Amino acid sequence: MARVALAYDLEPEDVEKVVREKLAALEDVPARRETVSVGKNELKGVAVGPVPGSTPSTEVYASTEGRVYRINVYGDGLDAGDRELLSSLKFDRPSRSAASLGALPDANDPKTYYKNGGELREREEAARGGNEKGGSERTASMTAAEVPRYAEKRIAEGCWLAQSTFFFQTQHGRYANRSASDGIPTGFTRLGSPNYWGQYTHGNLGYGRCASTYYTNDKFAIDYPLNFGDAVFSPFKSGTVTFAGRNSSHKNYGVFVVIKADNGKYVNLSAHLSGLAPGIRPGARVTDATIIGYAGDTGDPSVPVGPPHLHQAFYRSPGFLADGSPYGGTGLQVVFHRYVGTAARTSPGVYKYGWSKTSTQLAKGSLISN
C-alpha cells in the first residue's frame, strides 16, 4: 500500500537535503537510503527508511518536470511487490495549480484541528473541580493509600509494568456518554470496548507488540467507547505535549495527542479524536485537569475505526520523530487508574485493571466512572 502526494513545499534541488536530514533524525534505527526506479518513465527516485511509527513506511522522493512527489510505501521495508508498485506509477501534469484551490488548511498545524468544545467544555471543567462525595458504594476500587507499592519492572515479551503509585487517571469526563441509546450511564465508559490488552480488531496490522523498533508498541492499549465530541482529559498529573494533530507515519490513529509525563519515561497516546482543545500543541504543559481534545472516530480509510472511542496507549521511553510522534521503546501495562468519581457519586478512588473481573479488580467490559 502506498500514498502518493505532490510535495508542494519542495523543489527538486531540496530533495538531497531532506533525505540527509531524515537519516540524521533516524540515527537510532536501522534506516538507510537507496536509489529506486519510479514510474513508467523510470524516474530516479531516492528512498529513505523505514520511517518508524504505528504505520512505518519508506519515503520515496521522485522529481519530474520541476515537481517533487513524496511517496509513502507502507511496511518495514521495500519488497519486490513494493518495487513493482513504484515502477507502475504514472505522473501526469496537475490539471490545476495549488494556488487555484485557495487557502488550504495546514495539516501539520495543530490549530487546524482546534475545537472550542463550547458549553460541554465549561461544564466538564466545572465538574472537575467540584466532586459530589458519597451516595453509592465503591465496587472494585480502592483509595490511593490502599494501592500496593511496587516499582516498575520488565514483564513478558519485553513490555514493562508501570510503577504502581504513579499517577494515571481515567480520561473521560462527568458528562461523557450522555446519549440514552449507548447503554452506558452518563459519566461512565466501558473498559476495553472494542479492544482490551493484547486485542486488536481494526485490521491485520499486528499492534499487539511489546518491543518493536519500528512500530508503536500497543500491547496494553485500551479502547473506551465515548459519544462524538466528549471531552478527553490528560491521563497524567503533569506532563508536556510532544505531538498534536495527525501525520502519515501514524495515519491509523487519525487525530491524536502524545504527552510525555514529567518522570521522563512514561508517554501517553490518545487517538481517534474529532479535534483538539485550543492550546494543545507541542511544548504545551498539561495537568490532570486539562482537556486535550474531543472523542471521535478519525483514522485512515484503510483501517476500520468503528464507532467513536478513545484509543489509549502507554509507552516506556519511546523514540520520537522530528514532529514529536512516538515509536519504539516498550509497551507499558498500567494496572492502577485513578478516577474523580463525580459520575459514581463517590470520593476519588483507584481502579485496578486485570485479566479477569473479581470483587477487587476490573476487566474487559467493566464500567468505570470519570
* pLDDT number for residue 96: 82
- How many C-beta atoms lie closer than 10 Å to residue 344's C-beta? 24
Residue 330 has pLDDT above 50, yes or no: yes
pLDDT of residue 76: 84
Q: Read out DSSP for 139-155?
A: -SEE-GGGSPP---EE-
**How far are the Cα atoms of 22, 52, 188, 240, 351 from residue 356, in angstroms, in the given order?**
44, 34, 20, 33, 13
Structure confidence by residue, pLDDT tens digits, 69-102: 999 999 888 999 999 999 999 988 888 877 787 7
pLDDT at 249: 93
Which pLDDT score, from 0 to 100, does residue 336 have? 98
Could you give the percent of the chain with pLDDT greater than 90? 73
pLDDT in tens, 173-216: 999 999 988 899 999 999 999 999 987 655 455 567 899 998 99
Residues 211-232, mean pLDDT to the nearest whole number: 95
Query: Is the preceding omega at residue 301 within 30 degrees of 0, hence cis?
Result: no
- Considering the entire predicted model, what is its pTM? 0.92
Digit-coded pLDDT (tens) for 276-298: 999 999 999 999 999 999 999 99
For 268-298, b/e burial (b = at least 16 CB within 10 A) is bbbbbbbbbbebbbeebebebebbbbbbbbb
Give the per-residue pLDDT at 139: 55
pLDDT number for residue 89: 93
CA proximity to 314, closest of 337, 331, 329, 327: 331
Q: What is the average pLDDT across 20-36?
A: 91
Cell reading at 130: 467540584
CA 339 to chain centre: 22
Q: Which CATH number fits domain 110-369: 3.20.20.70, 3.10.20.740, 1.10.260.30, 2.70.70.10?
A: 2.70.70.10
pLDDT of residue 136: 43
Say yes or no to pLDDT of 106 above 90. Answer: no
108 pLDDT above the threshold of 50: yes
Average pLDDT, whole number, for the chain?
91
Q: Rounded CA gap, 266 and 107, in Å?
A: 27
Q: Residue 137 pLDDT > 60, yes or no? A: no
Q: Please indicate whether residue 123 or residue 205 has the higher confidence score (pLDDT).
A: 123
Q: Comparing 60-69, 135-144, 173-182, 209-218, which segment has the lowest mean pLDDT?
A: 135-144
Question: Domain spans of the chain?
Answer: 2-101, 110-369
Higher-confidence residue: 119 or 314?
A: 314
End-to-end CA separation in angstroms for the chain: 40
- CA–centroid distance for 226 within its chain: 16
> Cell numbers at residue 354, please?
486485570
